[in-house]
Amino acid sequence: MIPFPLVSQKVPKTAYIAGPMTNRPGFNFPAFDAVAERCRTVDGWSVWNPHEHDQEMYPGIDDAEATQVGDVQKIAEEVGFDLHLAMTWDLQAVSIAEHLVLLPEWETSSGAKAERFVGEMTGSKIWLASKCHPSAIDFDDVKGWYLTLDPKQKRLAPAQLAEVSA
């Protein structure tokens, strides 16, 4: 488990990955892992990935039967997963991460919506992850994940927007 310091500012060059998990095949772990790898290799960020944290806390989670269908109640029975502890860790990570990266369909997840709220309230730069580059013409030819600064974020100061747009 990653211990989080009690700080009044963001930890530079850190990112938290948020997105839908419940009722998704494999809890959507492959998307979390792919975007985390992208953020590490392309952006040079340290990444807090809920899947990696779950692997550390609950050995065997990847092989559990409940993981295949994304069943939170069954995963609690199979490997002892504790949603309260998971969300506590998640929200702490979001509160100090400089960047919050939202996976596709994040709006369908109550957890990701809570993480976005915390990210906005604590001043994270919020990014939308997608499999297609926003300016690509033929999406079938585009490989990998792309990040776009979310224009709807509420708490990012104009100076910060100019900084990340440059």
DSSP for the chain, written as a single string: -------SSPEEEEEEEE---TTSGGGGHHHHHHHHHHHHHTS--EEE-HHHHHHHHSTTGGG-HHHHHT-HHHHHHHH---HHHHHHHHHHHHHHEEEEEEPTTGGG-HHHHHHHHHHHHTTPEEEEEESS-TT-S-GGG--S-EEEE-TT-SS--HHHHHHHH-
- Over the chain, what is the mean pLDDT? 85
* 92-105 mean pLDDT: 95
Is the pLDDT reported for residue 48 higher than 90? Answer: yes
Model pLDDT for residues 51-61, shown as the tens digit of each residue = 999 999 999 99
Is 5 inside any structural domain? Answer: no
CB 91 within 8 A of CB 3: no
Is 114 inside any structural domain? Answer: yes
Question: Domain holding 58: CATH number?
Answer: 3.40.50
Is 118 inside any structural domain? Answer: yes
Helix orientation angle between 110-121 and 83-96, rounded to the nearest 10 degrees: 30
Sheet with 46-48, side-by-side order of all strands: 46-48, 11-18, 97-102, 125-130, 146-149
Nearest-5° Cα angle at 91, 125 to 119 = 20
* Torsion sign across C-alpha atoms 71, 80, 29, 3: positive
Is the pLDDT reported for residue 33 higher than 70? Answer: yes
pLDDT for the residue 142: 34
Model pLDDT for residues 122-157, shown as the tens digit of each residue = 999 999 998 866 554 443 333 477 888 888 876 654
Is 6 inside any structural domain? Answer: no
Is the pLDDT reported for residue 120 higher than 70? Answer: yes
pLDDT for the residue 140: 37
pLDDT for the residue 34: 92
Q: Is 40 exposed, middle or buried (0-12, 13-18, 19+ CB in 10 A)?
A: middle
Is 78 inside any structural domain? Answer: yes
Is 1 inside any structural domain? Answer: no
The total number of structural domains that make up the chain: 1
Range of the domain at 134: 11-165
Is the pLDDT reported for residue 83 higher than 70? Answer: yes
Local confidence band at 92 (pLDDT 50, 70, 90 cut-offs): very high
Is 62 inside any structural domain? Answer: yes
pLDDT for the residue 56: 96
pLDDT for the residue 115: 97
Q: What's the CA gap between 110 and 89, in Å, rounded? A: 16
Is 48 inside any structural domain? Answer: yes
pLDDT for the residue 134: 56
Least confident window among 32-36, 46-50, 148-152: 148-152
CB 142 within 8 A of CB 131: yes
